[in-house]
Amino acid sequence: MTLSQLGAFVFVARLGSVKAAARALGVSEPAVSQSLAQLRRHLGDPLLVRSAGGMVLTEGGRRLLGIASQIVALGAEAVAAVQPGRPARLHVVADGVLAEHVAGPLVCLFNQRKSMDAGTGTAATAEMPLLLTSRLADVALGPQLPGPGLVSRPILRCRLIAVAAPHGRRDHWLVGPSGTDPAGASGRLLRLLRVPESHVRVFANQTAAWKAAAEGAGIAPATAHLVAGAIRRGELVMVETAATPMAVSWYATVLEPGARSAAADAFLDFLTTPSATQVMRSPDSGIPRARFRPPVHVSIWS
Amino acid sequence: MTLSQLGAFVFVARLGSVKAAARALGVSEPAVSQSLAQLRRHLGDPLLVRSAGGMVLTEGGRRLLGIASQIVALGAEAVAAVQPGRPARLHVVADGVLAEHVAGPLVCLFNQRKSMDAGTGTAATAEMPLLLTSRLADVALGPQLPGPGLVSRPILRCRLIAVAAPHGRRDHWLVGPSGTDPAGASGRLLRLLRVPESHVRVFANQTAAWKAAAEGAGIAPATAHLVAGAIRRGELVMVETAATPMAVSWYATVLEPGARSAAADAFLDFLTTPSATQVMRSPDSGIPRARFRPPVHVSIWS
DNA sequence: TCCAGAAATAAGGGATTCCTTAATGTGCGC
DNA sequence: GCGCACATTAAGGAATCCCTTATTTCTGGA
């Protein structure tokens, strides 16, 4: 299986014919046909079969196309990435809650203060150690991460509580995507309380889960200082459970001192500054349009 | 540049030595060294240089590593993806607003009703036509998409309004990530009103922007029926502007009848059912834990 | 039925890949 | 300096890739 074979497959699939793909690639028709034949042999699937309207994808071909497209695009990107002149970027990954509330403003402020070019990403807690050791990320924000070569440093102590509307239902639990991360704080809480899966409803994000809770749809786990405003206004009240309030800490995890980059050190230093703590305590102000960069989803292979 | 060369690079970078990588890959040491040498020659960067603590990444190598890891991972995934037995999945992409509020519950209900296996993704509006024509997505939810071979069908008419707290500030605009999509409804509104970039603040999601608006931090564009509850409770009020209320429609875009899959047709049919409309009108109930599948970020380039 | 268009296959050649063993650098601690 | 561990280079060979031209097979339409 070769990058150019995958490229030929992608072109044929998109253009609907071997001939058109050959023209687009600037090679002869059999060249494309053979690349395709070899890929078919290697993968054991016809991938594309001829039909009246042109070449049409098989089931396997359909599943392959997305992956192949990405591989081809990344191959082109790889060549561009090593060219000099691009600044080194610091990669900060965060688990669900921190990615939603804290990572964006924090990294934005860091970039502003230190003239850096850091980007944020979301990742499952379980993948973080591997992301760090494989150098795909420089800093991981989330729970403490054990592991050889890893150093976790607490960056904020906070309390995990359960909230609901004053007269809302108490039979359902409302969580954001981070509630499905078994290693995250919300996931641990639900497990401690033995909440059955059928009583958990997942929302597109944590804020939406809190909004639903405020409207009386159920109970939501929450980091105390992030819902302080809603509690003060009476939209949400704290609900007593066997496990809350639970003291949790947010950690920043990096590689050992010698192995991590200078930028990672700079970010760690930044995290101890008062303004960074301030942002983590009340991060609800958004970030300026000019500094916004959409977060990426980071994952590794299994 | 070859998949196996990239694989050798990733192994050396992760393990810190050519010898260890060779052992892990089950080949001789010069085999790895040569793969690396060819990659270096091809890309014009040393990528990894020897040092006291093992092989250490150069700047270019650091930038390459993430991309190379993804390529290698996807290469392995590609082989697995074509194996039979995996059900065909329907890929639904949505722009920011629909991805956050509508796509999840909608696809969840569709899967439940039709015993299908559809997944949701987020994409920029500008990328949607290419995602559809390249078969990376089956259905796109968002604004009307012009383009050869594409068919847009309206699925819901709604109104775009501007909201703020009754006595909140009116000098800043608060948007979710979709506000930075120039082709999205919020982006169009900001352009129509000639809001300068410096007066726009971006939040992690649309719900968080509305929450900030309810706390008086500024004005937020909103789809009327999604904030109806907050307006009824007095947390938000409609703000008059030159361009709002603006009538907008949500569309489902697919390929032409012959070119699209049967699953795409089934989803289109589903969208016209009363329960689908019901979900789009009041989607704020989350989805059951067992049916939750984290959305993926879909992009042509990565 | 025959034909035109398109895909697949055959055959061949040059380049590249990828592995081996053997030899050569290269940095570090003694 | 010397030995050691490691990376690199050299040389050679089998396999693969990737392109070409020529030929064959398949399919749908006149």
Question: For residue B252, what pLDDT band results from cuts at 50, 70 and 90?
Answer: very high
Reply yes or no on whether the pLDDT at B300 is more than 50. Answer: no
Report the pLDDT averaged over residues B138-142.
94
Mean pLDDT of A130-147: 87
Query: B67 and A78 in contact by Cβ < 8 A?
Result: yes
Whole-number pLDDT of residue A294: 65
Measure in Å the smallest separation between the Cα of A132 and chain B Cα atoms.
10
The predicted-structure confidence for A225-275, as pLDDT tens digits, reads as follows 999 989 998 989 999 999 889 999 999 999 887 778 888 999 999 999 999
Percent of chain A past pLDDT 70, that is, above it, reads 94
Amino acid at B199: H
Residue A300 has pLDDT above 50, yes or no: no
Query: Which nucleotides on chain D have any atom < 7 A from a protein Cβ?
Result: 6-11, 17-22, 27-29
The pLDDT score that the predictor gives to residue A267 is 95
Burial A104-142 (b: 16+ CB within 10 A, else e): bbbbbbbbeeeebebbbbbbbbebbbbbbbbbbbbbbbb
Å between B246 CA and nearest CA of chain A: 23
Candidates A169, A207, A296: best to mutate against B (most CBs of B within 10 A) is A207
Least confident of A43-47, B86-90, B129-133, B164-168: B86-90
What is the distance in angstroms measured between the alpha-carbon CA of B268 and the sugar C1' of D9? 62
- For chain B, what is the mean pLDDT? 88
A192 against A87, higher pLDDT? A192
Which three-class secondary structure state does DSSP give residue B174? strand
When pLDDT is cut at 50, 70 and 90, the band that residue B86 belongs to is low
Tokens of B165: 């707290």
Is B126's pLDDT higher than 90? no
Q: Are B248 and B239 in contact (CB under 8 A)?
A: no
Cβ distance B66 to A74 under 8 Å? no
Q: Which two tokens stand for residue A171?
A: 């039979």
In the structure, what pLDDT confidence band is assigned to residue A284 with cuts at 50, 70 and 90?
confident
Do residue A88 and residue B63 have CB atoms under 8 angstroms apart?
Answer: yes
Position B82 confidence tier, pLDDT thresholds 50, 70, 90: confident
pLDDT level of residue A87 (50, 70, 90 thresholds): low
> How far is CA A193 from its chain centroid?
27
Q: How confident is the model at residue A296 (pLDDT cuts 50, 70, 90)?
A: low
**HSE of A182, CA atoms in CB hemisphere, 13 A:** 5
Over residues A176-197, the mean pLDDT reads: 90
- Quickly give A79 CA vs C13 C1' distance in Å: 29
Q: Distance from residue B72 (CA) to nucleotide C29 (C1'), in Å?
A: 38
End-to-end CA distance of chain B: 18
Kindly report the CA angle at B202 between B199 and A124, in degrees rounded to 5?
Answer: 165
Residue type, B214: A
Strand D and A66 CB separated by under 7 Å: no
* Rounded Cα–Cα distance for residues B192 and A17 (Å): 43
Tokens of A273: 């500054």
CB contact under 8 A, B133 and A14: yes
pLDDT single digits (tens) B186-206: 999 999 999 998 899 999 899
For residue B302, the surrounding DSSP H or E stretch is none
Read off the DSSP letter of residue A101. I
Torsion of Cα atoms, B218 then B219 then B222 then B226, to 10°: 50
Nucleotide with C1' nearest the B20 CA: D6
Torsions phi, psi for B295 (to 5 deg): -70, 150
Record: contact A14-B288, CB cut-off 8 A = no
Lowest mean pLDDT among A109-113, A155-159, B185-189, B285-289: B285-289
pLDDT of residue A156: 94
Query: b/e per residue, A244-255, with b = 16+ CB within 10 A?
Result: bebebebbbbbb
Chain B residues with CB-CB distance to A289 below 8 A:
179-180, 197-198, 200-202
Task: Give me the pLDDT at residue B297, please.
Answer: 54
pLDDT in tens, A95-127: 988 989 999 899 999 998 988 888 888 888 988
Task: Give the Cα separation of A11 and A49 in Å (integer).
Answer: 14
Rounded distance in angstroms from the CA atom of residue B300 to the C1' atom of nucleotide C8:
31
pLDDT of residue B296: 59
State which residues between 20 and 79 of chain B bring their CB within 7 Å of strand C: 27-28, 30-31, 34-35, 38, 42, 50-52
Contact B64 A81 (CB under 8 A): yes
More confident residue, A282 or A49: A49
Cis, bond preceding B245 (omega within 30 deg of 0): yes
Secondary structure of residue A216 in the 3-state scheme: coil
Inspect the interface and report whether the beta carbons of A62 and B294 lie closer than 8 Å. Answer: no
Q: Report if CB B3 to strand C is under 7 Å.
A: yes
* CB atoms near residue A194 (< 10 Å): 8
Q: Give residue A212's pLDDT.
A: 92
